[in-house]
Structure 1
Amino acid sequence: MDSKKTRVRQTFPISKIENQRVSDVTFFNRRSSLYRMANELVDFCDVDIGIVLFSPSNHPFSFFHPTSEAVIERFLNPDSQLSEKTRLDAEQARNKVNQLNNRLDAMEKRIEQIEEIEHAQTLLQLSQTEENGERSKWKSIDQLNANEIPTFEAWLRTTVSKMNYRLEKLENEASSLKNARGTS
């Protein structure tokens, strides 16, 4: 039985992407991946690294850790010691990155705690509504009084408007994806 190869396992010949828009999108996605991998190298292996890229439209992009001066000086003179100023700048950059990473970790933990609390509150509210026999907090339209009807109408208009906007946005994204795939 001949099994179908998945798209991941297929090999595609490397060739230049002619469509400028597709080329730009591909460049920015791969640039992000390169930066992420370089950052992981810095974190896991404690290395100094420098990357300089030029986009298809000739815009320069760079990633240096700890600083561009430290990486360039070390590249040009691998056997010599860094100057005192460059060494101090590199140390300050490393400390700043470590502080920011610690703050990010603390914020992520805090967000996780908040999400757990919100989830617990939702479960508690659900159990309380089931205990009270309430199926829903929504009123029937027949139960609305004269003062509540205009508010309900405004809410409906807003909801319909948001739904139409979202539908239009999804249709535009789908058509642009279809066009991008068709022309590449």
Structure 2
Amino acid sequence: MEGKKTAGRQKIPLEKIEKEAARYASFSKRRLSLYKKASELVRECDVDLGIFISSQTGKPYSFVHPTTNAVIDRFINPTTVDLGAQLAAAEARNKVIQYNDRLNEFDAREKAAKEKIRSMDQMNEARVRGWWEAMDQFNAVDITKFKEWLNTTEGLLNVQLKQLENGASSSVQSPPEDGSN
């Protein structure tokens, strides 16, 4: 077996980042990843969650679900049940679920649109250069699609040719004789 090409994941000791710009960039990235993990936790475990942090400059940031009041009330009185807060929390959860569904749908549409644009760009390139020059840039899926299109086109042309032949041969033949003449 060959030796490792990289050092892999290694533990990096935690220490203060000295450069202010790098420290702020790291804070922003870590804050966003923390929010993403919190959102996953809320979605998958159906929990109430609140995260409050402030930057070195004193700017406050927060992530709360379902509402700030519901999270604070739950923190202060964990055994108390407030039906109004529970209804508000349930409504907020339903909205989050709906928004996540819409976001996933938009992501799927965006992915499909990008794939279609990529395919159209490839087709335009092929038209400009001629299909015979562009065949070497097609991948297996594109070649399979092109082959299917050619087979379909050939089938349609054969059907149309048979229809034309049948129409031409029937018009050349003399009309059938009637027994009444």
Q: TM-score range by the shorter chain?
A: 0.5 to 0.7
* Aligned counterpart, 1:124: 123
Q: Judge conservation of contact 1:74–1:82 (CA < 8 Å) in 2.
A: no
- Whose Rg is larger? 2
Residue aligning to 2:41? 41
Displacement of 1:4: 9.1
- Give the Cα separation in 1 of the matches to 2:71 and 2:111: 37
Residue 133 of structure 1: how far off its partner (Å): 7.7
Unpaired segments ≥5 residues, structure 1: 136-184
In the TM superposition, what are the counterparts of 1:110-121 in structure 2 within 5 Å?
110-121=109-120
Return closer, same or farther for 1:133/1:79 CA change in 2, 3 Å cut-off.
Answer: closer
1:42-121 to 2 correspondences below 5 Å: 42-84=42-84, 86-121=85-120
TM superposition score normalised by structure 2: 0.62
Residue-pair matches, total? 132
Call closer, same or farther: CA 1:4–1:91 in 2, change over 3 Å.
same
Superposition deviation, residue 3 in structure 1: 7.8
Q: Which residue of 1 aligns with 2:7?
A: 6
CA 1:96–1:132: 2 relative to 1, 3 Å: closer
Q: Which has the higher contact order (CA 8 A, sep 6+)?
A: 1
Structure 1 residues 24 and 7: CA distance shift in structure 2, 3 A: farther
Please give the root-mean-square deviation of Cα atoms over the aligned residues, in Å.
Answer: 2.7
Tell me the TM-score normalised to structure 1 length: 0.61
Q: Is the 8 A contact 2:126 2:133 kept in 1?
A: no
Q: CA separation in 2, counterparts of 1:9 and 1:132?
A: 50
Q: Partners in 1 of 2:71 and 2:44 — Cα distance?
A: 18
**Structure 2: any 5+ residue segments left out of the alignment?**
135-181
